[in-house]
């Protein structure tokens, strides 16, 4: 988890590049987590340009250059609101980790 990276880039690229959208309805799908129903016309299920691997890698580079330094600044503060969550694994595993951090935060702030 060095340098604020909690999910390897290739995992991020793989996950995001599997997103799809229905051209007419705007409904979102994911080839693994929520595949489009087989009765939909496949020509209407498209990948958005910003979900292509090269676009995702560019967004990650911009994040590291522009956003990560701001995050690092606030993480060094004594009362930092940032919490690290391992984003690898299944949706359910990541959700459970996130939920546990939120519950702990609620108890501290109650």
Options 3.30.420.40, 2.60.40.10, 3.50.4.10, 3.40.50.300; CATH of 2-81: 3.40.50.300
Any alpha helices (H) in 1-110, and if so which ranges? 9-16, 53-62, 68-75, 91-109
**Among 51, 49, 1, 43, which residue's Cα sits nearest to residue 22?**
43
Residue 25 to residue 98: CA distance in whole angstroms? 30
Query: Given a cut of 90, is residue 22 above it in pLDDT?
Result: yes
**Contacting residues for 101 by C-beta, under 8 A, at least 6 apart:** 83, 85
Domain ranges, ordered by start, for the chain:
2-81
In total, the chain counts a number of residues equal to 110
89 phi, psi to nearest 5 deg:
105, -170
What are 44-90's pLDDT values in tens digits? 999 999 999 999 999 999 999 998 888 888 888 877 777 778 888 88
What is the pLDDT of the chain when averaged over all its residues?
88
Overall pTM > 0.75: no
């Amino acid at each position: 988890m060095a340098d604020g990276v909690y999910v390897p880039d290739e995992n991020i690229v793989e996950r995001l590049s599997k997103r799809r959208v229905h051209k007419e309805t705007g409904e979102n799908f994911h080839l693994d987590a929520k595949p489009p129903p087989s009765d939909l016309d496949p020509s209407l299920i498209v990948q958005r340009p910003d979900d292509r691997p090269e676009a995702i890698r560019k967004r990650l580079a911009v994040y590291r250059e522009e956003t990560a330094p701001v995050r690092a600044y606030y993480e060094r503060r004594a009362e930092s609101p940032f919490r690290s969550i391992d984003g690898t694994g299944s949706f359910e595993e990541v959700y459970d980790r996130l939920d546990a951090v939120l519950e702990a935060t609620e108890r501290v702030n109650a």
